[in-house]
A and B are shown apart, each in its own frame.
Chain A
Amino acid sequence: MKLVFKIILSSFICLAIITFILIKFGGQVDSFYNKFTTPKVSSMIIGDSRALTGIRPTVINEKLSGQGFELPMLNYSFTIAQAPIGPLYRKSILKKLKPDTKNGLFILSISPLMLLSDRSHDNYKNEFIEADLSPHNMDFVDMNPNYEYLIKNYNSFHFKAIFRENLISQKNGWLQDNNLPKTKEDYEKRRDWWINSYSNFDKRYAFSEYRLASLDTLIKTLKKYGEVHLARLPVDPIFLPLEEKMCPGFDKLVDSLSNMNDIKYYNYKNTSDTYKTLDGAHLSKLYSGKFTESLCDSILKN
């Protein structure tokens, strides 16, 4: 009896410590945890890590208030490993979406990388590289504190980050990366790291027709809940030929897709002089606000 009591007490203490950290520092110990702790929403930003750091919900809430959209906005973007376009991501988006939404706003940030698939996988047989990762392994996407996320994605937690403030994922889903490059060399080093990764990426992954078709389905699905806008975010020009090689004619494909669905595609790929990135591929927090404003202007114009 004494033992049972002690075990319960000690489990309770451990749980209390973890709960405290999750509630207080959830955005620091894990970059995606916060996304699963907020209530369901009617409007969201969808995309990979470029949208994760590049598009700020607060700016949109401000600029587009009174335009008839059901705000606030949630940044429900992940990384390219977790959330390429596909049925799994679509299902997760629908879980996080208020089912009675009528006038939502959906900003889809897309890039050629989001249409790639592992060469060894057959998408038509339901084989997806992202299957075991969050958000696809989550049943509860709006629970605070979210223990399901802790159990299933414990490996992505880094608890000592409560002493650091390099990466902070905010409650609205935007990831604030405070680790900016200090010098030009620093920037180039990070950019070269990505270039190297791109070439590895190329060996393993190839353009997937299935994912392109799935993008079409996603657009059609979201249109039932409101307005859909497509955007391609700025990257260092050095990446553009590489991306073109991975997915030839990407812009044309997206253009025809947006025409077919009667939605707009804003292509910012050549604007990295105006909106600077911190590593060639991700917008710096100093420019993400300005970029989001411009994006809002584009949406307003149409």
Chain B
Amino acid sequence: MVFNSFNFIVFIIPVLLLYWIIFKRSSVLQNVFLLLASIFFYAFADWRFLILLIASILLNFYLGLKIHNAEKESKQKMFLNIGLVFNIGLLLYFKYFNFFYEGFFKALNLFGLDSNHNTLKILLPLGISFFTFQTLGYLIDVYNEEVKPNQNLLQFSVFIAFFPKILSGPIERAANLLPQIEKKRLFSYNIFTDGLRQILWGLFAKMVIAEKCAEIANPIFDNFENQSGSLLLLGAFFYAIQLYADFSGYSNMAIGVSKLFGLQLMRNFSTPFFSTNISDYWRKWHISLTTWMMDYVFTPLSFTLRGYQKKGLVISIIATFILVGFWHGANWTFVFYGLLHGIYFIPLVYSGKMNKSEIVAKGKWMPSFKELFKMLALFVLIMLTDVFFRANTVTEAFNYIASIFSYSLFKFPNELLSSSYIIGIVLIAFFTIVEWKHRERLHDFEISNYNIIFRWSSYIFIFLLILFFGKSSETFIYFQF
């Protein structure tokens, strides 16, 4: 069940009431209840893989203890390797098997060994990319003595299966979430209302902005061969916003829901488009994935390749980003997406300008012209690269981008004057202004410091926006079979 569904409301209200009224007495009760709710939540989405999830929890829990208790380093390494093989194996089998299988037969064809084969029908267990990354991170952390292994199976199960984040993240770290699960959660008015605000903003981003952008971008992408360059550029623009609003909105809802239970998940997006260079952008985009990749892929890789100086760094960055791309799905388009982003880092590595993340125009109302120019240039670059994320094949993406840069790029798109586009642009402008205003805050809609009248009018205003613009389907049921 998705957060913006009626089912979820029916699920969450009794769960919250029971959690804070009946099960509040101890952390054990809280955890037992959260685990039951999480199992129900996962089973409701897809009960067939519940066993897989439970098996993964049990094995990783056991391996964590084994790694820690082994005396010899070689033993520790062995248990770690078992864990890596198991977790990565799960992911490879369920998510990437057909990709490699087909690739293998294509390679055979290249050598003239034609053969018939059928791809297997493998169902993807929900959330597998997220929970396997979390368990992998946990085992590596235990091995590196970053965290102590958890001794309590109940707490560990909640850490992996906690329902707000099981399906699509954020990918949590043991150091952040486990200590919160070990303690008893006390009800806090401020955290609870902050969670509600974050959910409201997430709903708005997903149901209004992302839906509206999808409604505009989909027909352009579906029929891109016949569109003018200028319209294709607009399509890429709306898709880039859609991708951001959809995923950041989802993350805000997940983090917000989690706050209702007194658990603080890590931030996943922090206004990434307000960045002046690509490394800044990746520090703010899907943070839980990029920091994961940083710690467990890039750092070891660049450490191993440190003898090659800057060349080693470039190779590590590109390899890391290819993996970032590939993580999103078994398709060459994602590999290309990652590869391109890796390439964008090369100038930064050579100029040594990988500065620490600074908030753009900190403390000011407006960015300077130079900052604005840099942000826009970066945005256009990202927006064009996102075409790879959306397209069905790499060739399609190249064709799309090639068609943008044609003479028809200078043809004014009449669609821009239609009411649908105007509404879309006005809504995006509102969305951007609110996010810009809160770029220095803990989340995009952290407005606790405003006065009560302003706060309440904002809530009602956003509620009305969701009500009026939340449904994008213009095609009316009357025309439906």
Contacts and interface: CB of A to CB of B under 8 A. Distances in A.
Check whether chain A touches chain B (CB < 8 angstroms).
yes
Contact of A160 (B189, B468, B476): B468
Interface residues of B, number: 22
A159 B468 contact: yes
A253 interface: no
Nearest to B469: A160
Interface of A: 2-3, 6, 10, 13-14, 17-18, 21, 31, 49, 52, 79-82, 151, 154-160, 167, 175, 193, 197, 200-201, 204
Interface stretch (B24-32, B50-58, B71-79, B459-467): B459-467
Nearest to A167: B476
14 contacts: A3-B192, A3-B193, A10-B459, A14-B463, A17-B460, A31-B476, A31-B478, A52-B478, A158-B473, A158-B476, A159-B468, A159-B471, A175-B478, A204-B481
Contacts of B456: 10
B478 A49 contact: yes
Nearest to A197: B481
B465 to A, nearest CB: 10
Contacts of B464: 17
Interface of B: 6, 189, 192-193, 456, 459-460, 463-464, 467-471, 473-474, 476-481
Contacts of A159: 467-468, 470-471
B106 to A, nearest CB: 33
Interface centre among B6, B463, B468 (most CB of A within 10 A): B468
Contacts of B470: 159
A155 B467 CA distance: 11
Nearest to A282: B478
B481 A201 contact: yes
B467 A151 contact: no
Dominant SS at the B interface? helix
A31 B481 contact: no
Contacts of A201: 481
Contacts of A3: 189, 192-193
Nearest to B187: A3
Nearest to A201: B481
A140 to B, nearest CB: 17
Nearest to A3: B189
B463 A17 contact: yes
B467 A2 contact: no
Contacts of A154: 6
Contacts of A81: 477, 480-481
Given A2-B189, A79-B480, A167-B476, 7 more contacts: A13-B460, A80-B481, A81-B477, A155-B471, A157-B471, A160-B469, A201-B481
A175 B192 CA distance: 45
Nearest to B471: A158
Contacts of B468: 159-160
B17 to A, nearest CB: 11
Nearest to B192: A3
Nearest to A133: B477
Contacts of A175: 478
A245 B239 CA distance: 43
Nearest to B10: A151
A119 to B, nearest CB: 13
Contacts of A155: 471, 473
A109 to B, nearest CB: 15
Nearest to A129: B481
